[in-house]
Amino acid sequence: MWGGRAGSLLRGWGRQLTGAPGRRLLNCRAASQAGNSAPRCWKCGGPRGPAQGDGFFCPQCRALQPPDATRDYFSLMDCNRSFRIDTTKLQHRYQQLQRLVHPDLFSQRSQTEKDLSEKHSTVVNDAYRTLLAPLSRGLYLVR
């Protein structure tokens, strides 16, 4: 498990470090990185910190960030989590989000941002279609 100089010293002393069953030991760098789970920008490496605005862009370099997989459609579309929603408000929010992340707006950006834009746009489209139709909205609520 331990290699290098530390491992040879421990083997020389007749000792071996063991961790808890099912858990692996971390070196100092991995332990410090594991303790810092704040999301970082893919482009500048800066902390994304508390979500400003919609959290789609890095506050330092303004690069589009990967979509949040844990965000549900109701929070994305800024709707109450209930069966009855204001479809006019939903439509306005959809248009607002598409003005931010539509792939046509990223045609002169890096390939990474183009790909992220497509992912965001797909999530926004899926959320809009799901919440707009009463049957799919109800099924989404049940899930």
Give domain status of residue 109, yes or no.
yes
Give domain status of residue 137, yes or no.
yes
> pTM of the entire structure?
0.69
CATH number for the domain that contains residue 137: 1.10.287.110
Whole-number Å distance between alpha carbons of 78 and 16: 54
Asked whether 56 and 65 are in contact (CB, 8 A), the reply is yes
Give domain status of residue 127, yes or no.
yes
Per the structure, how many domains does the chain have? 1
Give domain status of residue 67, yes or no.
no
Tens-digit pLDDT profile for residues 61-116: 999 999 988 999 999 999 999 999 999 999 999 999 999 999 999 999 999 999 99
Give domain status of residue 5, yes or no.
no
Whether residue 29 is predicted with pLDDT greater than 80 in this model: the reply is no
Give domain status of residue 14, yes or no.
no
Q: Which domain holds residue 127?
A: 73-142
Whole-number Å distance between alpha carbons of 11 and 107: 58
Question: Which of 65-74, 120-129, 130-139 is the least confident region?
Answer: 65-74
One-letter amino acid for residue 136 of the chain = S
Give domain status of residue 10, yes or no.
no
